[in-house]
Amino acid sequence: MKNFLYRMDLKGSPYLYIAPFFLVFAAFGLFPLVYTGWVSLHDWELISDDHTWVGFANYTKLFGDTYFWNALWNTLSIWVMSTIPQLLMALVLAHVLNQRLRAPTFWRMTALLPNITSVAAVALIFAQIFGRDYGLVNYLLGVFGLGHIDWQSGTASSQIAISAMIIWRWTGNNALIYLAAMQAVPRDLYAAASLDGASSFQQLTKITIPAIRPTILFTVIISTIGGMQVLAEPLLFGGASPTGGSDRQFQTLSLYLYEVGFSRFDFGYASTAAWAMFGIIVIAALINYLITSRLRRS
Amino acid sequence: MRLINDGGIRRRRIVAVAGSLLAATLVMTTAACGSDSDTASNEKVKLTVATFGEFGYKALYTEYMAAHPNIEIVERITKTEDHQKNLAAHLATNSGAADIEAIEEGWVGQFTSQPGKFYDWMEYGGAELKSAWPAWKWQQASSPDGKVIGLGTDVGGMAMCYRKDLFAKAGLPTDRAEVSKLWPTWDEFIATGVKFEAAKPGAKFMDGPAVMYRSILGQQPVGIYDGDKVVVDSAPGVKTAWDLTIKAMNAGLSAKIAAWTPDWNTGMAKGTFATLACPSWMMAYIQTQAKDTAGKWDIADVPGGGGNWGGSFLTLPKQGKHVKEASELAKWLVAPEQQAKVFRAVGNFPSTVSLYEDSVIKDFKNPFFSDAPVGAIFSKSVKTMVPQYMGPKSGDVNTAVINGLTRVEQGKQTPDEAWTQVLKDVKALL
Amino acid sequence: MYLCLIALAFFSGFPLYWSLVVASHDNSVLGQTPPPFGLGSNFFINIGRAFDTVPFAKALLNSFIVSTSITVSVVLFSTLAGFAFAKLKFRGRNALLLMIVATMMVPTQLGIIPLYMLMAKTAMIGTLYAVIVPSMVSAFGVFFMAQFLQEAVPNELLEAARADGCNTIRMFWHVVLPAARPAAAVLGMLTFMTAWNDFFWPLVVLTPEEPTVQVALSTLASGYVQDFSLSLTGTIIATVPLLVLFGLLGKHIIGGIMQGAVKG
């Protein structure tokens, strides 16, 4: 009997522990997903009551939709420009915060500040910083005689500005995630390394990074997912216009979805784009996972 | 419709205040007694009114509740964009909409395309009221098959704000009557701009293409829609507005600033551009963004006569349970007396024709803009505006056209290339 | 190193400070170059206006209830599930974890319409439940905890506990929970912050009669001419409680991180 209970506990209890997640998810995550899939097979005007079944016509249309591919391409390039510096900076920042400091709480709180500040305030301020005629960045460029840049109109410049906004908002967040993982690295490893004369940077690369690999993998996947869903920054940068610039030069996938769904009220086609986006993120995350786990093995 | 005078309003206010005190006592007494048979015969109806921004209705609700003790009004105010999106979600799911929902002009076409989601005002006394509004305002909230979903609350009107100091520098007249005479048409407006630039006053003549394009489009007998058909490529309306705007840009008049950006705000304060086509609400915008430029601005007629930008409607979503009470309240809120009160309190320009002859509007001057008789200027533009159908895609088509103009301005495309792409974009929208 | 940190503080704090500058003047500062860097005198007037316009006290209380409920629930369920994924062997473990990661990839905005229909069916619209219930679990949290616990809880410790006759729930309580504290603290903070700042969904499902702070902010940011000093005053009113809360709890949270480190 005791043996039976023991085996039940061992084999059965894990399901009990993960059940709450799957129960809530089934109701509030899965249902919307399936429903969206159903909608994507229809000609479905958002506020109209008649919906015509069109099969996969929306998907065929999406496949030939240059604006969709443009948005995908923009999303990828903004993702690369924002994620890599963001994670590297977060790692260094976490390493610094992990040292013995005066007033550690204060500095950690400071790292969180960008994330606490409301998106609306951030957008307003960044729009001013990257203004063409009176923006702070162009003012500084002017001081050094480097001319000025019309940040919004160029493809690269607008995407750089948006990436800067994303980096600014999320670096501290990732740094705290790294910091939590670093705290679990046994201190005596560092003490031993110090005795061997390892520099702070060597300690970071030789001890910390190997020790917190799962967390690094975690942040890479999370920021891939987050990067695919960037919406607020390009929307607000473009002055609330959903097209992301006159030439859609900074329209991301999410923004395109938003334009189709909530500006054109074409719920069917927006759902199609959402499902396509879902598929793309899954593929991206899988590739990501394969690469990272291969790196880990080697 | 009866004209009102100031005395009437003031007297009404006193009555209203007294009334609301009385109502408050009544509420307290009822609350003390609990629910008794009295209230059952005269059951309280709770009406929700969802608006956005500043409708200036708070005092009016109190007044109405005082006069109608059986009505309780709950207000919901949300940010403009959020409000329209929420309304769409509420209509799509057939739940959650308020008894009275306001809609802004920029979105009205999307909702008139689904008139079945709203009660038709023609069945709730709309026919008798129709003449109170300018024809175009009435048209905006009508579906192509003649159903009317909204009653107008306010309008924007259109005028041309200009910087007197910059005009003087360029050797142009500064008096508003003479300035108005400079540009009866948009072609003459552009010609004036060329003269302005030739004098090299250190500023551009206009801000950017968006406002000019919209103003001209509003003056065309047929705009984006002809009935329920999009006619961007077949009717001359949109192309006329496009060509004139391109002409102004080619003449080097534009400061190339996109509206609503920080550069635009700063440009107003710094005098980067000398003219800005401005609806009535833009006055408040300029006043708050460029506080220090008081007295440097003045207001003349808009080229081409009439024009409008902005304004809202009150609708009754079909989900509402108390349509009779809600329609009474909405009709009362848009009646001339109340529109005049709102105008005084928060400055929303009335949409009722009869008020334009009233001293409330006729004698209204704005000291910030050199005491320009703005009431008269805006009412003239509203009265001469032509009716146009607004369709579900009007907003998106305008975005596509303005994006095209911006591409030309940013040197990314020639006008012809941009127009070809606009037509392609518009086709993809349908 | 401190130079680096001061630069960090400057970059991180600047927009918040700038909000305060605008909030303490009026709209016209946005059009000035160079903009003023000192504080104006309008701040308390603007605060008064903000409190007059929307029921901020109620909104703050509502936000507090919502964020606390979500945080407690997310941290608890995430640690539990994270433990199961990281340290227990069961059939379908990898597939289920992958599924959880996949759920994060669902674009959220489109879920709004079906989710709203669901809320209408269960009569939760307009109540705080409509905001709390769908957020009670988080795929991010589960994944985060699973990744963290892999390294933070040594297998030997669990084997020892099992040899002592501990069942899994006691192992969770006595071994895993203490080790999970640093990650739980961070997860809690991030969850609280996200819940506090979330506006997309609350705006659709709540009414201004029963608002959270973000809904109240939407009411403040109004109309044809947005009053930026008023809305930025609102964002400061919405942000300061977070700062105060984290400031007060910060020591305990950081303390938790240290303690966890010592035990781990």
| Domain locations in chain B as residue ranges | 45-155+311-363, 156-308+376-429
Distance from the A67 Cα atom to the nearest Cα atom in chain B, whole angstroms? 10
Q: How confident is the model at residue C253 (pLDDT cuts 50, 70, 90)?
A: low
Q: Residue B127 burial by CB count (10 A; 0-12/13-18/19+): exposed, middle or buried?
A: exposed
| For helices A155-183 and A66-97, angle between their N-to-C axes, nearest 10 degrees | 40
What's the confidence (pLDDT) of residue C223?
56
Q: Do B92 and C227 touch (CB under 8 A)?
A: no
Task: Work out whether strand B273-278 and strand B204-206 pair parallel, antiparallel, or are unpaired.
Answer: parallel
What's the confidence (pLDDT) of residue B18?
39
Q: What mean pLDDT, rounded, does chain C reach?
A: 84
What's the confidence (pLDDT) of residue B337?
94
Q: Is the pLDDT of residue C255 over 60?
A: no
Residues A148, A235: one domain? yes
**pLDDT for C114-167, tens place per residue?**
888 888 888 888 899 999 999 999 999 999 899 888 878 888 888 888 888 888
Backbone phi, psi, residue B344, to 5°: -70, -40
Residues A115, A3: one domain? no
What's the confidence (pLDDT) of residue B122?
94
Q: Do B262 and C30 touch (CB under 8 A)?
A: yes
> How far, in Å, CA of B180 to CA of B161, rounded?
11
Tokens standing for C189?
A: 């903070």
Residues A137, A3: one domain? no
Please give the radius of gyration of chain B, using alpha carbons only, rounded to the nearest integer: 23
**pLDDT for A213-261, tens place per residue?**
888 888 888 888 888 888 888 988 887 788 988 899 999 998 998 899 8
From the list A21, A267, A274, the residue facing C137 with the nearest CB is A21
Instruction: Report yes or no: A104 at the C interface, CB cutoff 8 Å.
Output: yes
Which residue is it, tokens 């209509």? B91
What's the confidence (pLDDT) of residue B313?
96
Q: Report, as ranges of residue numbers, the positions in chain B whose pLDDT lies below 70.
A: 1-42
Is residue A52 situated within a structural domain?
no
> How far, in Å, CA of C122 to CA of C100, rounded?
25
Is residue A16 situated within a structural domain?
yes
Q: Do B77 and C26 touch (CB under 8 A)?
A: no
Is residue A241 situated within a structural domain?
yes
Q: How confident is the model at residue C225 (pLDDT cuts 50, 70, 90)?
A: low
Dihedral sign for Cα C241, A170, C135, A34, please.
positive
Tokens standing for C54?
A: 């929307």
Residues of B in contact with C209 (CB under 8 A): 74, 76
Residues A110, A29: one domain? no
Count Cβ atoms below 10 Å from residue B396 Cβ, excluding itself: 26
CB crowding A99-109: b at 16 or more within 10 Å, else e: eeeeebbebbb
Contacts of A127 (CB under 8 A, 6+ apart): A236, A237, A239, B261, B262
Dihedral sign for Cα B284, B286, B290, B295, please.
negative
What's the confidence (pLDDT) of residue B132?
93
Residues A31, A163: one domain? no
Residues A23, A169: one domain? no
DSSP annotation of B159 reads E
What's the confidence (pLDDT) of residue C31?
65
Tokens standing for B25?
A: 């006592």
Q: What is the CATH number of the domain that holds A281?
A: 1.10.3720.10
> How far, in Å, CA of C113 to CA of B172, rounded?
56
Count Cβ atoms below 10 Å from residue B28 Cβ, excluding itself: 10
Backbone phi, psi, residue B71, to 5°: -105, 135
When pLDDT is averaged across residues C200-214 and rounded to a whole number, the result is 87
Distance from the B408 Cα atom to the nearest Cα atom in chain A, whole angstroms? 9
Residues A32, A63: one domain? no
Q: How confident is the model at residue C252 (pLDDT cuts 50, 70, 90)?
A: low
From the list B114, B270, B404, the residue facing A48 with the nearest CB is B114
Tokens standing for C171?
A: 């192992």
Residues A36, A177: one domain? no
Under CATH, which number does the domain B45-155+311-363 receive? 3.40.190.10
> How far, in Å, CA of B381 to CA of A193, rounded?
80
Residues A79, A34: one domain? no
Is residue A49 situated within a structural domain?
no
Residues of A in contact with B82 (CB under 8 A): none
* Reduced 3-state DSSP string for A206-254: HHHHHHCHHHHHHHHHHHHHHHHCCCHHHHHHCCCCCCCCCCCCCCCHH
Topology of domain B156-308+376-429 in CATH is D-Maltodextrin-Binding Protein; domain 2 (3.40.190)
Residues of B in contact with A48 (CB under 8 A): 114
Instruction: Pick C35 or C172 by higher pLDDT.
Output: C172
Element (H, E) at B52: strand B45-52
Is residue A48 situated within a structural domain?
no
Q: Do C152 and A117 touch (CB under 8 A)?
A: no
> How far, in Å, CA of C102 to CA of C125, rounded?
28
Q: State the pTM of this model.
A: 0.86
Q: Which of A247, A249, A258, A267 to mutate to test the interface with B (most CBs of B within 10 A)?
A: A247
Chains that touch A (3 or more CB pairs under 8 A): B, C
Is residue A46 situated within a structural domain?
no
Q: Do C30 and B265 touch (CB under 8 A)?
A: yes
Equal CATH topology for B45-155+311-363 and B156-308+376-429: yes
Cα distance from N-terminal residue to C-terminal residue, chain B: 42
Number of domains in chain A: 2
Q: Do A225 and C19 touch (CB under 8 A)?
A: no
What's the confidence (pLDDT) of residue A256?
93
Is residue A169 situated within a structural domain?
yes
For the residues of B67-135, what is the DSSP string, one character each? H-TTEEEEEEEE-HHHHHHHHHHHHHTT----SEEEEEHHHHHHHHT-GGGB--GGGGTHHHHGGGS-H
Asked whether A54 and A63 are in contact (CB, 8 A), the reply is no
For the residues of A26-70, what is the DSSP string, one character each? IIIIIHHHHHHHHHTTEE-BTT-S--EE-TTHHHHHHHT-HHHHH
Which residue is it, tokens 């996938």? A253
Residues A31, A126: one domain? no
Is residue A45 situated within a structural domain?
no
Residues A159, A121: one domain? yes
Which residue is it, tokens 């700042």? C197
Residues A137, A242: one domain? yes
What domain range is A9 assigned to? 1-40
From the list C27, C30, C218, the residue facing B79 with the nearest CB is C218
Mean pLDDT by groups of 10 residues along chain A of 298 residues: 74 88 88 90 88 93 94 94 94 89 82 82 80 84 85 91 92 89 84 87 89 86 84 82 90 91 88 88 78 72
